[in-house]
Amino acid sequence: MENLNSLSPIQNERMTCYGGVAAAAALPSPPPTTLTTLPSSPCNTFVREVGSGGAEDPNTVVKQSVDGFKWRLLVSYDGTHFKGWQFQQTPPTIQCILEKALTRATKLERKDLHLVGASRTDGGVHAWGQVAHFITPFNYDSLDSIHAALNGLLPPDIRVREISAAVPEFHARFSAKGKIYHYKIYNDAIMDPFQRLYAYHVTHKLNAAVMREAANHFIGTHDFSAFGNSSRNDGMPNPVKTIFRFDIVNMVIKSHNNLAPKDGLLSLICPFHCH
């Protein structure tokens, strides 16, 4: 999943997560985003009062609550050993581990950090650049030290790729403009053990041409109410989404013994707009 996430009124950022049916797909690393650090200034955390439609009700009131300095993170991780993003202690999640590192690096309590991620992810999902933000009551003249400290405190399967100052209006979740979901399918009778954590295994032969034809029916603007969780009754504010691309790509895997390359990996890429 790749999010198109707005950093400020004049900058746009792409946040990338990779999710699969059983495990997520790791893509070749795209070039890192060039980002200019914004000047720090006191800001406010924006919280939403829950209306009748739930936390994302379009009619909810946004109010300022916590003074501080807002910082934007771009986080990359292998999600194999984590139960997704959302905070919980056991089994561990990305937010839980990241908050522990932040509390040690900033000497603040978890409740004071107000760490927010761009979106939740399922267990086993990997990310190239998931956007998050947190708050501190103090400013940093330089971000090099805390950047190095965070990566020194985090396990090797989680890394903060970027840290920068954010404008007060920025919100990692509510500033998101779109997402890209990327899945990999390993299509062969025997699963490659080197792909098992990053692709879904399908043993019967798939017809990529027919899949591409079917994918065209998803492109456009559609109402996805049927895919909502009606049991939660959380009032999805706008179930209408626009899918502007759905690619089915045959990928060639280079064999591990340096012999002939082998077909058998399908990559499904589906971007859509959140609003």
Could you give the angle at which helices 144-153 and 94-106 cross, rounded to 10 degrees? 130
Q: What are phi and psi of 211, to 5 degrees?
A: -60, -40
Residue 33: φ, ψ to 5° = -70, 135
Cα separation, 262 vs 206, whole angstroms:
15
Q: How far apart are the first and last CA of the chain?
A: 16
d(CA 97, CA 77): 11
For residues 247 and 268, the answer to whether their CB atoms sit within 8 Å is yes
Distance (Å, rounded) from C-alpha 61 to C-alpha 57? 9
Q: Is position 112 annotated as part of the catalytic site?
A: no
- The CA distance from 102 to 91, in Å, is 19
Among 174, 45, 61, 160, residue whose Cα is nearest residue 112: 45
Q: Environment class of residue 51 by beta-carbon count within 10 Å: exposed (0-12), middle (13-18) or buried (19+)? A: middle
Q: Pick the catalytic residue: 122, 141, 234, 247?
A: 122
Coil, strand or helix at 126: strand
Closest by CA position to 2, among listed 274, 275, 193: 274
Name the residues annotated as catalytic: 122
